[in-house]
Amino acid sequence: MTVRIEPMPLQGPLFEGALDVYAEAFAGAPYFDDDRGQEVRMRLLGEHGRRPGFKAIVAMDGDEVVGMTYAYSSAPGQWWHDEVRKRIPANAYRRWLVRSLEVVEVAVAPSRQGEGIGTLLVESLVAGRDEHTAVLSARCDSRAHELYRRLGFEELARVVFSTGGAPFYIMGRQLPPRGEDAGG
């Protein structure tokens, strides 16, 4: 695979390419969501892009963006963090959400899925972090959780968020102490 990882700036062609990939990935099953690209643009340019520990990367093949992902440090007061906190036992909260990295979005261009690009993106995103765990949510009816399971994430809970809609798995993975992994 000739795909490489680069930082994602919050403007310019790589940013626009990442949003195009994201919109395309979520336009299909099981999401069928045509507005997600706009939503994610607003979030990245708004609060998400300014959160502590924010990191966004793209997967590039030549000068084409073929995947994107971003994360930040999860903390009380953030919608997702507080929603999950209410739905898991206190000991699970302490183990998994305190000092955690929230993997917020992952998307690979539909024509390039199944080639290992999602794996490369997630491993690059979580490498070399200070947080103790990486956490995320994945729709129970999507295939994404199969990928996360293979990457060492375990299912912590099955939840429906207060906004309603489809159930999600909350998943978590321990991260090695900084300096013990290969990434940077």
Ligand X SMILES: CC(C)(COP(=O)(O)OP(=O)(O)OC[C@H]1O[C@@H](n2cnc3c(N)ncnc32)[C@H](O)[C@@H]1OP(=O)(O)O)[C@@H](O)C(=O)NCCC(=O)NCCS
Binding site for ligand X (CB under 6 A): 25-26, 106-108, 113-119, 138, 142-144, 146-147, 150
Shortest distance, position 168 Cβ to ligand X, whole Å: 8
Contacts of 160 (CB under 8 A, 6+ apart): 166, 167, 168
Which pair of structure tokens corresponds to residue 97? 């959400």
Q: How is residue 136 written in tokens?
A: 């995320």
Q: How does DSSP classify residue 111? A: G
Q: Which is nearer to ligand X, 29 or 182 (CB)?
A: 29
> Closest CB to ligand X among 14 and 117?
117
Closest to ligand X by CB, 13 vs 28, is 28
CB of 91 to ligand X, least distance (A): 25
In 3D space, the residue among 88, 94, 92, 107 whose CA is nearest the CA of residue 20 turns out to be: 107
Using the minimum distance from each CB to ligand X, give the nearer residue, 101 or 117.
Answer: 117
Between the CA atoms of 71, 75, 78 and 82, what dihedral angle is there, to the nearest 10 degrees? 120
Is 149 in a helix, a strand, or coil? helix
Tell me how far, at minimum, the Cβ of 106 lies from ligand X, in Å. 4
Nearer to ligand X by Cβ, of 27 and 75: the residue is 27
The SS3 call for residue 32 is: coil
CB of 179 to ligand X, least distance (A): 26
Number of H-type helices and E-type strands within the chain: 6, 7
Instruction: State the nearest-atom distance from the C-beta of 157 to ligand X, in Å.
Output: 15
Record the tokens describing residue 68, joined without a space: 């994107």
132, 175 in Cβ contact below 8 A? yes
